[in-house]
């Protein structure tokens, strides 16, 4: 472990379903702004956070177009996190659990995301100053 701060996060929540996902992205954004090296292991439904085929949609009930609806897409926020981490002198290493990806047919992830196993989470935690596990519960 080097002197530079490295933090690992484990995520388990699927996108669009839990406030925990929003809080997780806020935490990652803060860590990126501080120039930390960040490792993320996405497990179970969390592998959908980086699914490249997420699409914005209109809201016909409220009569709004897709543009007016300005739908939040986690994949875009995470793509911005990769840029933010780099811009501030840090890095973001995002690993999706491979079996979780296969189960969900979520192989098409945004650029920068790699496929791994829970062993990667162990390696990340070993190489980090600290680790936060964000479990699935509301």
Q: Which residues bind other proteins (CB under 8 A)?
A: 5, 7, 19-20, 23, 26-27, 30-31, 34, 36, 129-130, 132-135, 137-138
Residue matched to tokens 């793509």: 79
Query: Between 9 and 51, whose beta carbon lies closer to other proteins?
Result: 9
Shortest Cβ distance from residue 34 to other proteins (Å)? 7
Strand locations in 1-138 (E): 6-11, 37-42, 91-97, 113-116, 130-134
- CB of 38 vs other proteins, minimal distance in Å: 10
CB closer to other proteins, 85 vs 109: 85
Report the nearest approach of other proteins to the CB of residue 131 (Å).
Answer: 8
**Exposure of 105 by Cβ count < 10 A (0-12 exposed, 13-18 middle, 19+ buried)?**
exposed
77 phi/psi in degrees, rounded to 5: -65, -40
């Amino acid at each position: 472990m080097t002197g530079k701060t490295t933090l690992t996060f484990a995520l388990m929540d699927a996108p669009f379903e839990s406030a925990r996902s929003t809080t997780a992205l806020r935490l990652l954004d803060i860590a990126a702004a501080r120039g930390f090296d960040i490792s993320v292991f996405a497990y179970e439904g969390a592998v959908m956070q980086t699914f490249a085929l997420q699409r914005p949609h209109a809201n016909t009930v409220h009569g709004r177009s897709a543009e007016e609806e300005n739908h939040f897409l986690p994949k875009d926020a995470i793509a911005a996190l990769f840029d933010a981490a780099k811009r501030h002198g840090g890095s973001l290493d995002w690993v999706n659990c491979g079996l979780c990806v296969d189960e969900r047919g979520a192989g098409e992830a945004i650029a920068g995301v790699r496929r791994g196993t829970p062993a990667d989470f162990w390696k990340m935690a070993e190489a980090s100053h600290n680790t936060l596990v964000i479990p699935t519960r509301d």
